[in-house]
Amino acid sequence: MSIRKLACLVLCLSFLLGASTGFAATKKYIVGIDGDYPPYSFIGADGKPTGFDVESVQWIAKEMGFEVEIVPTAWDGIIPALLANKIDMVYSGMTANEERKKVVDFSTVYWEIDQAIAVKNESTATMEDFNAGKLAIGTQRGCTAAEWLEDNLVKKGILPADKLRLYDNFPAAAMDLEIGRVDAAMMDDMVVIGTIKGKPLKIIGTVKTGEEYAVAIRKTDTDLKDLINEGLKRLMASPKWEELKAKYEMQK
């Protein structure tokens, strides 16, 4: 074989090896979301997952060189799904509270929220009525609103247990509020704002919980945690961050 042919063969093999190595390095992560959690994560008119968090993780994936598959998952089973390796992260408006930190790790904080209380437009209910346990209240099971209601009203004997109604998602709670099956509905403020938009419902107040949203990751996945943290840092420093906030009306 001539030197020229040998050199050409070496170059070709190097190219193929590099290409295959690059392909193998493209990692795909499964992202668990709540599919009924506007504006953070929901199913769009085209049947595809979308929302502030969905677009955020898609931008991070492109920026950091990996792929994502977005998988709607029942909220009350989303952490068990993460621990069972059915998904690789939860990026869907999850509060990084102490109870969850016992079983999963969290990324750096990317958003802060409080809890909002909605009633029908014609309702005369007040926050005093809410705090006194006079209202039947609906919320999503497994969420921090349900935990707050249980800990601060039900366990203290202020709200009868049968007046706390739990739903698979907040839009279902809002629907029951609209038709009068509950007197109020409570959830993360931006979720309430997004869900009641265009409906005959109004917000009468908020409970200041100062909750912090972060991405949930298995404790063993330290490399993924570092990857997401760097991605969040770049996203929040980029024009895309303000673009997403404007698109999903993330101003309270």
Q: Is the domain of 118 the same as that of 97?
A: no
Residue 11 reports pLDDT greater than 60? no
* 11 assigned to some structural domain: no
What pLDDT is recorded for position 250? Answer: 86
Residue 98 lies in a domain: yes
Which of these, 84, 112, 62, lies nearest to 235 by C-alpha position?
Answer: 62
Instruction: Say whether pLDDT at 92 is over 80.
Output: yes
In terms of domains, do 102 and 129 share one? no
Say whether both 138 and 221 belong to one domain: no
What is the arithmetic mean of pLDDT over 55-60?
Answer: 98
Is 7 within the bounds of a domain?
A: no
Considering the entire predicted model, what is its pTM?
Answer: 0.81
For residues 182 and 68, membership in a common domain is answered with no
207 and 218, same domain (yes or no): no
Give pLDDT, residue 25: 63
The pLDDT mean for the chain works out to 91
In a domain, 8, yes or no: no
First to last CA, the chain: 72
159 and 83, same structural domain? no
Q: Looking at the structure, tell me whether residues 221 and 184 fall in a common domain.
A: no
> CA 139 to CA 19: how far, in whole Å?
50
Assess if residue 9 is contained within a domain: no
**SS3 sequence, 121-145?**
CCCCCCHHHHHCCCCCEEEECCCHH
Residue 23 has pLDDT above 50, yes or no: no
Q: Would you say residue 146 lies in a domain? A: yes
In angstroms, rounded to a whole number, what is the distance separating the alpha carbons of residues 3 and 204? 82
Residue 3 falls inside a structural domain = no
Which CATH number characterizes residue 142's domain?
3.40.190.10
User: Residues 171, 52: one domain?
Assistant: no
CA pair distance 36, 55, nearest whole angstrom? 15
Same domain, 102 and 125: no
- List the domain range (segments joined by +) for residue 91: 17-110+214-247
Helix 189-196 crosses helix 170-178 at what angle (to 10 degrees)?
50
What's the CA angle centered on 114, arms 113 and 120, to 5 degrees? 120
Residue 222 clears pLDDT 60, i.e. is over it: yes
DSSP string, 16-60: HHHHHHHHHH--EEEEEE-TEETTTEEE-TTSSEESHHHHHHHHH
Per-residue pLDDT tens for 158-209?
999 999 999 999 999 999 999 999 999 999 999 999 899 999 999 999 999 9
Asked whether 161 and 154 are in contact (CB, 8 A), the reply is yes
Least confident of 70-74, 146-150, 246-250: 246-250
Same domain, 219 and 205: no
What is the count of structural domains for the chain?
Answer: 2
Q: Does one domain contain both 232 and 219?
A: yes
